[in-house]
Structure 1
Amino acid sequence: MEKISTTEPDWSREYCTTFWQPSKQLLRAIRGYQRAQASTGFIATLRAKWWVFCHRFWSVICACDIPINCQIGGGLLLIHPVGVVIHPDAIIGPNCLILQNTTIVGGVVLGGHVDIGAGAKIIAPVAIGDDARIGANAVVTKPVAAGTTVVGIPARVI
């Protein structure tokens, strides 16, 4: 099995193969908007408005709150995006996995290839190291070292 990189984004994880892949379409809208914002001119403004419309549509379909101006590294994988809430000031590293009903508050910095289980809450501005795993329904209030797994309420290393 090939190790997933913590620094180089695997863009194939976000690639849409069919129309009805809501989480990938949502990420596509975010990426498109950010590209349009980096450009200037009338056409770029129209593209940005189009991507805002797409983002709103897919946000409703996914029932999640991922801001269009968030800082997400490439290769994010949202298997079931329902209930995912990410603060605009959170920084998500490359190749992360976020499952349903997850909350990430502002000031959180996720390293590369962080896996977050269903229902997990990161409710303090902390750093989560590369290759860390956060178990389902864990409540993280303290930093998590690279390569460790945390579970429980409050989250503790296992």
Structure 2
Amino acid sequence: MKKYTTIQKDFYRESGQWLSPFEIWSKCINPNLHYVYLLRKCQQHRKKSILGIFWRFVLRHHQIKYGFQIYPETQIGEGFYLGHWGTVVINPKTKIGRNCNIAQGVTIAQSNRGKNEGVPEIGDEVWIGPNAVVVGHIKIGNNVLIAPNAYLNTDVPSDSIVVGNPAQIISRKDATEGYINHKIYY
């Protein structure tokens, strides 16, 4: 099997096709894909290298332009997909697994006090719906769907659906079926 770059794996999630660097660049007309491209370029280069400084400068400009607040320090697995253009805020200490989808209006934040002080750790194949809030030192398992407008500040086991505020957790083996398309398998 051919070795694909992280950027190619991220863009595969959008189209289901392996794209050349030129084809990837041509898809960057979409703000969400353009931002993922710039984010991954920053992650490829060391912070203090000339290219690293250049890509960070460009990313910062596009953070303001598009409303995405996702930093290169954030650990994000391959197959990352931003579903739509719109404000997304992710704490830079957050860990996100492979094949994850994040919709517009999502906040993944740090809790500064209480029993869940810290940042979330998100597993593989997690779909986070529009305007959901995920906060605190919590662990979210694999194959989890977090419904739109949910507020989540507690651990979630794998194979679950999370709905509401306060969050209700429903066990379901096919939680993300039909929500996470074109998965990257390892």
Q: Normalised by the shorter chain, which TM-score bucket?
A: 0.7 to 0.9
Is 1:22 aligned to 2:48, yes or no? Answer: no
Is 1:117 aligned to 2:122, yes or no? Answer: no
2:13 maps to amino acid: R
**1:39-60 CA-partner distances (Å, limit 9, x unpaired):** xxxxx82211221122112212
Aligned to 2:109: 105
Question: For residues 10 and 112 of structure 1, what CA distance do their matches in structure 2 show?
Answer: 14
1:36 maps to amino acid: H
Is 1:129 aligned to 2:144, yes or no? Answer: no
Is 1:54 aligned to 2:58, yes or no? Answer: yes
Would you say the 8 A contact 2:89–2:107 is kept in 1? yes
Following superposition, the deviation at residue 29 of structure 1 comes to 1.6
Would you say the 8 A contact 1:26–1:54 is kept in 2? no
- Please give the secondary structure, in 2, of the residue aligned with 1:112: coil
Is 1:13 aligned to 2:13, yes or no? Answer: yes
Would you say the 8 A contact 2:27–2:34 is kept in 1? no
Would you say the 8 A contact 1:101–1:120 is kept in 2? yes
Following superposition, the deviation at residue 153 of structure 1 comes to 0.3
TM-score for the superposition, normalised by structure 2: 0.71
TM-score for the superposition, normalised by structure 1: 0.83
Would you say the 8 A contact 1:114–1:130 is kept in 2? yes
Question: For residues 102 and 52 of structure 2, what CA distance do their matches in structure 1 show?
Answer: 26
Structure 1: state its 5+ residue gaps.
1-8, 39-43
Tell me how large the CA RMSD over aligned residues is: 2.0
The one of 5, 30, 34 equivalent to 2:43 is 34
2:126 maps to amino acid: V
- Please give the secondary structure, in 1, of the residue aligned with 2:46: helix
Question: For residues 28 and 69 of structure 2, what CA distance do their matches in structure 1 show?
Answer: 21
In the alignment of these two chains, the number of paired residues is: 145
Following superposition, the deviation at residue 62 of structure 1 comes to 1.8
